[in-house]
């Protein structure tokens, strides 16, 4: 029987006769379109689409998907147009073929950013119709099975790409058999020698353990039958890459990997799963810490089973999976289980809801990420989650990647919760936002209406949603803060040219925006604040774009007033730590904004080039923000002196950000980083510290990090 006949026989087993007839037409159409074409292996090209369709038939996918699989290369590789496919087989089939054709046009190059951009396109295709990626995975699986005709370099490239992206996507969609075969084939092409050695060792082990396995299987079967529970018992062998991965991650030899062979018990309902678990725990002793209940808490890809490891005869561990028939369907077919034995009444199952949510979250991060490489990193994080399961105060379960923090949890609940979070309670106890989540944690997020994301969060969040939302919020804040400062800088430049800002009309601004390519005035202001454009140059351009050129006559302009709430648009130099009351000067640094130094800062005089970028700045009298300052105390080396100093600082209403010390014989030098409001506040603190008998000398340190 030919492959084409076998395909028709397979679809006849679950599709209606009229659907089978349409598939037969698509098969004939594809055969005619590819007539005379050969694969690199020398086989007729039609063998490929038939093989792709046959990979999908065990998943019982609908007729449209099977037809699209048969036609997926006709638009790309023949003279047939997509409009012709639509008129012959209907728009839904043509849409699937078009989505696949766009994916097939992707040329995976060695440049990572090009590859990343291509995966963005793939995700968009997945989001439109998940069947597109199902066909693409089947296409990739058949290509992996027939890689022999490719060059060694090409084989390795395709195998690495499959291991990094396609196999994890298959796993994320719950396609267990496709996921495992893709991993095994990638392993075979990336490490052929290791694959061969491990394969031979596995065959030998299988022969050696045959009698032991049969004895265990018979014992399990007998115990379940004695209790009148209907069950199917299957032997289950770890796939090669699974064994290799375990050896690598746990530094084991092959002989040390005990759980190569296990058993799967399939029963009729969930209560029977727990009954069987109890029977097996009575038959063989369970290994502590090796039980997992994925029925009560399913995996992110909706996988459900009870997992337990038992001490078997001869001291060998036995892995057992216990699940229902429905759970088994989802475990094997994943997202495709929606089409498996589908009826008109079948609702969208939990897996489809989760898949949709996952795709939406990735699309959200895609829309907020301008950097393709950054997006690919987000995708990889989501494809290799290794989940922990965390509870909300109301008992809802959230799956998070291992290493996720309270901030990741907050963003997974809702973006607004993440943006406004200030603290967390983990198991009713206050915890820092960077605390890592553990299985079973109950987490409550504390929010404040005026809170906003902290750039430091980016150093420890791990989920793509949290990272993209934090970046988006910071960019928005950055634009608002920078544009406010930039407007003040531009007004100062206009004033120095003798131009009243009220004389600059919308016509001049519209012309300037057109000339510069900016969309909004705020972009121009932000560029000025960040040093990307010079305020004086923009001021002159605006003057020239008026009805008449304003003659330049410089007028003395006042300093830029520092309010203290400009955020990232204004930075205070770490070399001198300026505080209100200090004489200050500012410099515009490209991409960083306005950097404020004290007048006597040593770093200031190392490079006074580019004087046009230096600005006169002054403190606002109503400033309320606190500022960091460094002080140095030389104290007598006596017990309790640090506590006395800390108490004096607290009494003076200041917070200690950091403290360290050095011993020099009878004296100790204490270095404090404090938060102060201004120079008067600092003077009060230093006066309090001088009142401590053990304090020998106290000074402010202005160049601590210079």
Active site residues: 76-77
Beta carbons of 446 and 421 less than 8 angstroms apart: yes
Cβ neighbors of 340 (< 8 A, separation 6 or more) are 59, 60, 329, 333
Map 446-467 to HEC letters. EECCCCCCCHHHHHCCCCHHHH
Which 3 state secondary structure label does DSSP give 261?
strand
Q: What span, in angstroms and rounded, lies between the C-alpha atoms of 180 and 377?
A: 23
Distances (CA, A) of 563 to 449, 489, 494, 571, 613: 22, 14, 21, 12, 20
Q: What span, in angstroms and rounded, lies between the C-alpha atoms of 694 and 650?
A: 18
DSSP code of 436? B
Q: What span, in angstroms and rounded, lies between the C-alpha atoms of 8 and 131?
A: 20
Q: What span, in angstroms and rounded, lies between the C-alpha atoms of 85 and 74?
A: 9
Torsions phi, psi for 324 (to 5 deg): -90, 170
Q: How far is CA 296 from the centre of its chain?
A: 26
Q: What share of the chain is helix, strand, coil (3-state, %, to 5)?
A: 55, 15, 30
DSSP code of 214? H
Cβ neighbors of 106 (< 8 A, separation 6 or more) are 118, 121, 122
For CA atoms 64, 66, 68, 70, the dihedral sign is negative
In 288-340 the beta strands, taken as DSSP E runs, fall at 292-293, 306-311, 317-324
């Amino acid at each position: 029987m030919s492959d084409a006949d076998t395909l028709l026989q397979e679809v006849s087993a679950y599709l209606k006769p009229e659907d089978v007839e349409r598939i037969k037409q698509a098969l004939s159409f594809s055969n005619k379109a590819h007539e005379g074409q050969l694969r690199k292996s020398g086989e007729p090209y039609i063998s490929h689409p038939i093989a792709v369709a046959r990979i999908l038939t065990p998943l019982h996918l609908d007729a449209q998907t099977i037809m699209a699989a048969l036609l997926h290369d006709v638009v790309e590789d023949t003279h047939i147009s997509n409009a012709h496919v639509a008129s012959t087989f209907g728009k839904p089939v043509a849409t699937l073929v078009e989505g696949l054709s766009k994916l097939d046009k992707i040329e995976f190059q060695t440049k990572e950013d090009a590859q990343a951009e291509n995966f963005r396109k793939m995700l968009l295709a997945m989001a439109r119709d998940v069947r597109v990626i199902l066909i693409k995975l089947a296409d990739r699986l058949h290509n992996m099975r027939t890689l022999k005709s490719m060059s060694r370099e090409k084989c390795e490239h395709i195998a690495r790409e499959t291991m990094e992206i396609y196999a994890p996507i298959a796993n994320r969609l719950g396609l267990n058999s496709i996921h495992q075969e893709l991993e095994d084939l990638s392993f075979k092409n990336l490490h052929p020698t290791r694959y061969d050695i491990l394969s031979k060792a596995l065959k030998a082990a299988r022969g050696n353990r045959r009698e032991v396995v049969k004895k265990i299987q018979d014992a399990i079967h007998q115990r379940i039958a004695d209790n009148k529970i209907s069950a199917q018992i299957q032997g289950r062998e770890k796939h090669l890459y699974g064994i290799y991965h375990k050896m690598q991650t746990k530094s084991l030899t092959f002989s040390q990997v005990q759980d190569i062979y296990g058993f799967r018990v399939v029963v009729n309902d969930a209560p029977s799963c727990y009954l069987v678990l109890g029977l097996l725990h009575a038959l063989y002793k369970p290994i502590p810490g090796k039980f997992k209940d994925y029925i009560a808490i399913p995996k992110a890809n909706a996988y459900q089973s009870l997992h337990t490891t038992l001490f078997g005869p001869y001291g060998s561990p036995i892995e057992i999976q216990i699940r229902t028939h429905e759970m088994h369907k989802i475990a094997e077919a994943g997202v495709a289980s929606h089409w498996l034995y589908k009826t008109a009444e079948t609702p969208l199952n939990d897996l489809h809801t989760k898949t949709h949510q996952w795709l939406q979250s990735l699309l959200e991060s895609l829309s907020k990420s301008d950097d393709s490489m950054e997006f690919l990193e987000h995708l990889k994080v989501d494809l290799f989650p290794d989940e922990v399961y965390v509870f909300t105060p109301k008992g809802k379960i959230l799956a998070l990647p291992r290493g996720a923090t309270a901030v990741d949890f907050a963003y997974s609940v809702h973006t607004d919760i993440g943006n406004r979070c200030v603290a967390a309670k983990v198991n009713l106890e206050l915890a820092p936002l960077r605390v890592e989540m553990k299985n079973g944690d109950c987490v409550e997020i504390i929010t404040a209406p005026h809170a906003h994301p902290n750039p430091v969060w980016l150093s420890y969040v791990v989920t793509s949603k949290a990272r993209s939302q934090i970046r988006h919020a910071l960019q928005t804040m950055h634009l608002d803060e920078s544009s406010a400062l930039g407007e003040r800088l531009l007004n100062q430049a206009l004033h120095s040219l003798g131009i009243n800002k009220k004389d600059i009309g919308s016509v001049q601004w519209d012309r300037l925006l057109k000339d510069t390519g900016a969309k909004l005035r705020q972009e121009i202001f932000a560029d000025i604040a960040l040093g990307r454009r010079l305020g004086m140059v923009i001021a002159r351009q605006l003057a020239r774009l008026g009805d008449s050129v304003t003659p330049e006559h410089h007028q003395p302009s006042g300093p830029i007033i520092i309010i203290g709430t400009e955020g990232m648009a204004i930075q205070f130099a770490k070399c001198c730590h300026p505080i209100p009351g200090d004489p200050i000067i500012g410099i515009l640094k490209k991409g960083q904004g306005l950097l404020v130094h004290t007048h006597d800062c040593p770093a200031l005089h190392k490079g006074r080039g580019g004087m046009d970028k230096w600005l006169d700045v002054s403190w606002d009298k109503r400033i309320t923000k606190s500022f960091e300052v460094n002080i140095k105390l030389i104290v007598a080396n006596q017990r309790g002196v640090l506590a006395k100093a800390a108490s004096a600082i607290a009494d003076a209403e200041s917070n200690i950000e950091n403290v360290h010390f050095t011993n020099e014989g009878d004296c100790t030098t204490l270095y404090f980083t404090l938060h102060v409001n201004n120079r008067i506040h600092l003077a009060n603190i230093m006066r309090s510290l001088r009142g401590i008998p053990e304090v020998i000398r106290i000074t402010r340190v202005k160049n601590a990090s210079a």
